[in-house]
Amino acid sequence: MNPVQFGQKGTTLTGIYHSPRAAVARDASVLICSPIGQEYMRTHWTIRQLAIRLAEAGIHVLRFDYLGTGDSDGDMGDSTVEVWAENVQLALSELYELSGVREPTMVGVRLGAMISAVAGARGPIHAPRLVFWDPVVHGSEYLANLTQIHAYIVQVARLFPPISSDELVGFRYPHQLRREIEALDLTGLLAGLGSVQVDVLTTESRPEYARLLGVLENLQIKGDRVHVADPGTWDVPEKARIAMLADKTVKAVSSLVGGLAGDGAP
């Protein structure tokens, strides 16, 4: 594992590059697009385990923090989805510099799946394969879910009323960012992705996943559809502050990606 920093002074992004185990190194790379806010904290250990597994299987892996998140520069309150999508493009470029692999796979977790799709639709670097892990399908539902969890936290805290109205579960989502997220619709982005493979891995049964799969089918976008009974419990307020240890899901994603990534790489 090697820490990396890229981007410009003042907007520097920080990440961890996992070089592949030399004996089994392949011409394959994966960029992991993490969730944001408290879901970033919840999933950090799990995503790290996924990256280690993939690198063990011979794949170059980069995971990084968007601007205003983790160790990257800036504050989340000053960030926008557009900027995060640009960050993904920059990270793809960095991954190419590090690995030399031209056709990366992007694994997007929760809102990270949405951001990877926004970045994929924008270009210029093309990732021929996207893997959505419990993706946020509609930004409005995601915000409604966070609002419910936040209300629970306020109620449990009892004596600690929130002063700032732009917070959700410990992180700032100012008006502009909320408006951007609210307008996001993963199903609407799919047509703009061009020629891609989209794999979808879900851990819960939700109506929005069914809608997403339906749109993928209508658009004849190929890819694997995997369901793992290892619930992410994204809606459960009591779980919102507990680290997620999704071993079964990590195995499923690494099998999905590790078994196929790089097979078609130049």
Partner 1 sequence: MNEQPLFFGPERNLYGVLSLPDEAVHRKDLPAVLLPSVSLHPHHVGAFRGWVTLARRLAALGYVSLRYDVGGTGESEAGTRAGTAIDCQLSENSAAMDLVERRTGVRRFVLIGLCASADAAHSITLREPRIVGTVMIDAYGYRTRGQVLRHYIPRLLRPYHWSKFLQRKLGPTEVLAERDVPPRSVAQQQLQIMMDRGVQMLFLYTGGASYYFNHHSQFREMFPELKYRGRIEVEFDPLASHLFEFSADRERMFANVIGWINARDWR
Report the interface residues with partner 1, using CB under 8 A.
1, 3, 5, 12, 14, 16, 38, 41, 44-45, 48, 69-71, 75-76, 153, 156-164, 167, 170-172, 238, 241, 243
Tell me how far, at minimum, the Cβ of 36 lies from partner 1, in Å.
11
Q: Where are the alpha helices (DSSP H) in 139-239?
A: 139-157, 175-182, 186-189, 207-218
Q: Do the beta carbons of residue 84 and residue 115 sit within 8 Å?
A: yes
Name the residue nearer to partner 1 (CB basis): 75 or 82.
75
Whole-Å CA distances, 37 to 33, 190, 264 = 13, 25, 35
Q: How far is the CB of 12 from partner 1 (least distance, A)?
A: 8
Shortest reach from residue 197's CB to partner 1, in Å: 31
Residue 42 CB, nearest approach to partner 1 (Å): 10
* Residue 34 CB neighbour total at 10 angstroms: 23
Nearer to partner 1, 73 or 185 (CB): 73
Q: How far apart are CA 157 and CA 235, in angstroms?
A: 19
Minimal distance, residue 163 CB to partner 1, in Å:
4
Closer to partner 1 by Cβ: residue 48 or 251: 48
Using the minimum distance from each CB to partner 1, give the nearer residue, 158 or 175: 158
Q: Do residues 248 and 254 touch, judged by C-beta distance below 8 A? A: no
CB 33 within 8 A of CB 26: no
- Residue closer to partner 1, measured from CB, 164 or 220: 164
Q: How many residues does the chain have?
A: 266
